[in-house]
Structure 1
Amino acid sequence: MTENVIFDLTRETVWIAVVISAPLLVSALVVGIVVGLFQALTSIQEMTLTFVPKVGVMILVFWVSMSFMTGTLVAFFDTRVLPMIEGG
């Protein structure tokens, strides 16, 4: 295994991590902006008002996107990692 193969595999692994985490991070960002806007408009400064909706939406998005995440990881392991382990 050469350095180029290791660097390519590492680059692809980081990209897969970004793609898999994107739905959760984007949903948390959108909910955070909406709740922050709501807090600014109503002058309500409650800390749990930002935390609870973010966690709820992230759990919902995680549940909905679980098949996408699993499929992406399985495809990555089938096409990249397992052939390297088998020596191909």
Structure 2
Amino acid sequence: MTRGITMGGAELLDIAREGFWVTLMVAGPALIAGLLVGLAIALIQALTQVQEMTLVFVPRIVIMFVVIAISLPFMGAVLGRYTEKLFSLIASGGFS
């Protein structure tokens, strides 16, 4: 037995689009910090001609962990809002 409430393609695309934005907002700060640190260290390595792989890897990981620790409340809030929205859509049977 099926219910009369259905979800169309447009609603599904809205949920998927919002999911991609949530992913970008949660992962973005750490990825941008890692990118900037990697570029800065690569520039320093090019200027000084020091080619050490751990010199790039370790600071990038440390900075990414620091950025994640600082932005953890923001990440939790964004994921919490998205999860609440999904659960309310599931409970209501679709878009209203």
| TM-score of the alignment, normalized to the shorter chain, above 0.5 | yes
Task: Determine if the alignment matches structure 1 residue 60 to structure 2 residue 66.
Answer: yes
Q: Distance in 1 between matches of 2:57 and 2:35?
A: 12
Higher relative contact order (CA 8 A, sep 6+): 2
* Amino-acid identity (%): 34
Instruction: Summarize the alignment of residues 26-65 of structure 1 with structure 2, pairs less than 5 Å apart.
Output: 26-65=32-71
- Bigger CA radius of gyration: 2
Residue 85 (structure 1) aligned to one of 68, 85, 90: 90
5+ unaligned residues in a row in structure 1: which ranges?
none
- After TM superposition, the score normalised by the length of structure 1 is 0.93
- After TM superposition, the score normalised by the length of structure 2 is 0.86
Deviations 1:13-62 (A, max 9, x none): 01110111110011001100110111011100001110000000001111
Write 1 or 2 for the structure with the bigger share of helix: 1
Q: What's 1:3 paired with? A: 9
Task: Determine if the alignment matches structure 1 residue 21 to structure 2 residue 17.
Answer: no
User: Aligned partner of 1:85: which letter?
Assistant: I
Give the ranges of 4+ consecutive aligned residues of structure 1 lying more than 6 Å apart after TM superposition: none
5+ unaligned residues in a row in structure 2: which ranges?
1-6
Residue correspondences, number: 87
